[in-house]
Amino acid sequence: MSDALREEVENWLQRHWDSDNLRAVDTEVYDEKRWLSEVVDAGYATPTWSKAWFGRELSQREARVIEKTFQKHRAPGWGKDRFSLGAITLYKMGSEALKAELLRELLIGPICCLLYSEPGAGSDLAGIRTRAVKDGDEFIINGQKVWTSNAQEAEYGMLLTRTDFDVPKHQGITFFIFPMKQEGVEVRPINQITRESEFNEVFISNARVSERYIIGDYNKGWKSFQAAIASERLIMGMGVTARSGMSSHSKAPALLRLAHKYDRLKEPALRQEIAQALAYRQLNSLTMQRAVEEIKTNGMSSLMSLGKLSMSRIQHGEARLSGTILGPRVLVNDTEDARHANFDAAKAYMNSIGGGTDQIQRNIIAERILGLPRSNDVDREIPFKEIKTGG
């Protein structure tokens, strides 16, 4: 099957993709939406999904054959069933009508940001206070979100809201696919130590979202949200940038090149640390493969938290190793190597937050993998409106 599939994809790409000029055949410039439309309709973007929803019902192993062939030809569009978080969540939890309306659109174009965390609900996302009030066949949204990546460019957001304050905090939550480009949505960039503004505050004032844009069930959004956050942790555990679908597994070999360049590989202790970094990445890759198989069987896997925590630790360690290799040069920031090392170090600490902090992952691992007792959550069973806050 693999050889036949590889030949099929090779032939398709030769007919449709110009590998020399990196654009679709018979076009003058690369048109992302047009190209992705072709890939999606061919079933190569989401090969593990059902045939009813742009897939081919292939195994993960067969999907890797498609990905590798696309990478060989430098053709984009592969891996949407692993890295397109908004589309994945809609595919798993959205109604048939919602998938018919938006799924293809999410696969071929718009960025979908994550509107989860709030100033008073970070580690405990069940404490959200962004309010959604029903108004006919729409909901009026008021609230604030923070640490939202790509909010400035996003056309949609996966929005976690409170729709019932009279029930315990994990109930009365509704999850929406939320149109971002509308009156009442203000995005304010957050300046980072890297001089970027990847994260944003999002202020929502009397914005609207249609009732048909609920992901999952009304007042039962915690379940559909869990599917989304699980996919995010899997992506981060793989060391992958969701928007690009590109793996960061080449980072450890980059350490080898850096050590060669600065003649540090002769040092036994440093050489051992680099070897350990390579081993950690390989071990985490195997853990993520286990997680993918568990998801196929059970729909969920707590191993995703283990992978996400591991990748956070791996990135911290590799950033530290880059600094060790560069020595005092890393303080000057006047070379490309130093800038990369400092940038990676800042990124490593920020990536400890996305998908839930390292501390949250440790709690999940302790409770769901190791079987340790749950932490005492005194407000878990009382109506949300009775929960005391510092506000």
Span 128-159, pLDDT tens digits: 999 999 999 999 999 999 989 889 999 999 99
Domains of the chain: 2-83 (no CATH), 112-221 (2.40.110.10), 238-369 (1.20.140.10)
Between residues 78 and 287, which one has the greater pLDDT?
78
Per-residue pLDDT tens over the stretch 298-335:
666 677 777 778 888 888 888 888 889 888 888 777 77
- The amino acid sitting at 10 is E
Residue 39 has pLDDT above 90, yes or no: yes
- 8 Å CB contact between 196 and 242: no
pLDDT at 125: 86
Q: How confident is the model at residue 285 (pLDDT cuts 50, 70, 90)?
A: confident
pLDDT at 250: 52
Between residues 182 and 390, which one has the greater pLDDT?
182
The crossing angle, in degrees rounded to 10, of helices 268-298 and 60-72 is 130
Tell me the pTM.
Answer: 0.81
pLDDT at 248: 45
> By percentage, how much of the chain surpasses pLDDT 70?
88
Mean pLDDT of the chain: 87
Q: How confident is the model at residue 379 (pLDDT cuts 50, 70, 90)?
A: confident
As a whole number, mean pLDDT of residues 190-211 equals 89
Q: Is 206 left (phi over 0), alpha (psi -120 to 50) or beta?
A: left
Per-residue pLDDT tens over the stretch 238-274:
665 433 444 444 556 788 888 888 899 889 999 999 9
What does the alpha-carbon distance between residue 283 and residue 277 come to, in Å, rounded to a whole number?
10
Between residues 101 and 126, which one has the greater pLDDT?
101
Q: Which span out of 221-225, 279-283, 342-346, 377-381 was modeled with the highest average pLDDT?
A: 221-225
Residue 233 has pLDDT above 60, yes or no: yes
pLDDT at 242: 38
